[in-house]
Amino acid sequence: MAYNFEIIEDCLKCTFREHRLFCDLPGEAVTKLQSIKATSVYPKGAMLCLEGQAPRGVYVLCTGRAKLSTTSSEGKTIILRIAEPGEVLGLTAALSNTPYEATVETLELSQTNFIPQTDFIRFLQEYPDVGMRVAQQLTHNCKCAYTEIRSLGLSNSVPEKIAKLLLNWAEHPLDSPNRKNSSEIAIRVTLTQEEIAQFAGTSRETVSRVLGDFKKKGWLRIKGATWSILNKQALEELVTT
Amino acid sequence: MAYNFEIIEDCLKCTFREHRLFCDLPGEAVTKLQSIKATSVYPKGAMLCLEGQAPRGVYVLCTGRAKLSTTSSEGKTIILRIAEPGEVLGLTAALSNTPYEATVETLELSQTNFIPQTDFIRFLQEYPDVGMRVAQQLTHNCKCAYTEIRSLGLSNSVPEKIAKLLLNWAEHPLDSPNRKNSSEIAIRVTLTQEEIAQFAGTSRETVSRVLGDFKKKGWLRIKGATWSILNKQALEELVTT
DNA sequence: TATACAGTGTGATCTGCGTCACATCTCCCT
DNA sequence: AGGGAGATGTGACGCAGATCACACTGTATA
């Protein structure tokens, strides 16, 4: 077993299954899914889809997280969202048979189940339940996109956008060992400042300055990939949307 | 008949039906749709949904166009997209049973078919074909949102964003009477400069200046609601995405 | 132990465009 | 016709943040 990483080949035995929107299907459907999927494991930094490519199929992200981004012809990149385990990626492209809208890059060691486009469409038509799950995933994509639009279009300043991001991430905090410090929220951030800049639609230098400012004000502590929000309220007051 | 406007009460007799993604369903489904829908006609400027409201159901936009927008607590507004006839509005909210993501305002005299949420969900479960259509509409929403994100996040300047908008609109040109002037593309623009500013995430004054500049350069002619793109190539050269 | 490279911190400079302030201009409405 | 409101044009000003330039850090590679 490469990577010292447990591969889950059998969906029926997957312990996450019932928590996963797209996998928590009736047994018969999962058996079918099982027969058309191909499991792979990718290291950090692997590209699952490239923006503009013809769709080959969809990826169910079993474990790990992935970054969806789009790039201008001038090389400027913007991050659309970070996909969490359980999401189905490449749906829009596969359903409408148009090129992938975004580039998908794994942020960590990840397992995926790939389903070829034609098998997926057939699967979708055979099992009505699947349609509902697909709709839910698409709904989620739309909501994320709208959040991003609000962030890009309605914010007054970069500090506000970054505060928004931090607060957003703070909604899935780490189980901090010292939960007693109730005011402190620990989160795990594996993005570089460059990537944060792409998320907020700004420049890397500005991100550095803003984070430095937050630290100086005692609102934030950064220790490696573990960031602690020390003053949530102050960040919230920065946000106007 | 108020408004001097023909109301299409009977979906089966609707001449647009077969061109409409959501209405071009098997006869049985349309009959069912017919029984759960309520037809209304709204004047220009009517609010169909308000952002943040609990979902009541979905609206099929039979005729007319509508503006989807979202507003910050400070009153800054951004337009998400313009919905065309045939679109289903309020889908995301109805499917996920979360508040409407956007405010929907008619841009012209419009007819809609409203379907209450519970009826809609049941309809969706009964007719698998409907699921496919719903997925297509959601896919369309996502694509529009991504386009907007690219416009807001990847553009280098406001002139570029406005050029993008114009070129976008130019994809659905008017059947101009003088088509012989092949280089000239006529489009109908009913948005105010204020609304264009909201679309491009900029200020009204800047829109005025940029449009003035395009006119001065001979790239654009504006006569009331009819705009003519005189130099498409020049606009395209402004666009980097 | 050196070397390389990705990530980060920070100053100096310059500019696009947001904002305020006002002057038209174009439609309604009575 | 006339007046009022909404839409548009245009000048002046200031500043947030992009950009460039470089120093510093940490951690993989040879």
pLDDT digits (tens, 9 = 90+) for A109-125: 999 999 999 999 999 99
Helices A128-154 + A117-126 axis angle, to 10: 120
Last residue of some domain: A111, A127, A153?
Answer: A153
B196, B127: one domain: no
The CA distance from B164 to the nearest CA of chain A, in Å, is 13
Contacts of B121 in chain A (CB under 8 A): none
Q: Which residue of A has its CA nearest to B121?
A: A132
Nearest by CB to residue A240, choosing from B74, B142, B143, is B74
Count of domains forming chain A: 2
Q: How confident is the model at residue B177 (pLDDT cuts 50, 70, 90)?
A: low
Where on strand C do bases come within 7 A of a protein Cβ? Answer: 6-12, 16-21, 27
pLDDT digits (tens, 9 = 90+) for A126-168: 998 899 999 999 999 999 999 999 999 999 899 999 999 999 9
The CA distance from B230 to the nearest CA of chain A, in Å, is 25
Q: How confident is the model at residue A215 (pLDDT cuts 50, 70, 90)?
A: very high
Residue A24: give the domain boundaries: 2-153
B110, B45: one domain: yes
Last residue of some domain: B120, B153, B186?
Answer: B153
Any bridge partners for residue A104, and if so which? A49, A68
% of chain B with per-residue pLDDT over 90 = 80
Q: Is B128 close to A132, i.e. CB distance below 8 A?
A: no
Contacts of A98 in chain B (CB under 8 A): 143
pLDDT digits (tens, 9 = 90+) for A34-64: 999 999 999 999 999 999 999 999 999 999 9
Q: What's the Cα-to-Cα distance from B139 to each of A142, B147, B231, rounded to whole Å?
A: 9, 12, 32
Dist. CA A90–CA A84, nearest whole Å: 14
B111, B26: one domain: yes
Q: Residue B49: helix, strand or coil by DSSP?
A: strand
A20, A117: one domain: yes
Q: How confident is the model at residue B2 (pLDDT cuts 50, 70, 90)?
A: very low
Helices marked H in B37-116 — which ranges? Answer: 91-96
A149, A64: one domain: yes
Q: How confident is the model at residue A180 (pLDDT cuts 50, 70, 90)?
A: low
Q: Is it the case that residue B204 has pLDDT exceeding 90? A: yes
Q: Let me know the angle formed at the C-alpha of A122 by A120 and A124, rounded to the nearest 5 degrees.
A: 70
Last residue of some domain: A153, A183, A198?
Answer: A153
Q: How confident is the model at residue A236 (pLDDT cuts 50, 70, 90)?
A: very high
Please report the pLDDT score of residue B64 as a whole number.
92
Please report the pLDDT score of residue A128 as a whole number.
85
Average pLDDT on B42-62 reads: 95
The CATH number of residue B201's host domain is: 1.10.10.10
The token pair at A209 is 């300055």
A96, A138: one domain: yes
Average pLDDT on B13-37 reads: 92
The CATH number of residue B79's host domain is: 2.60.120.10
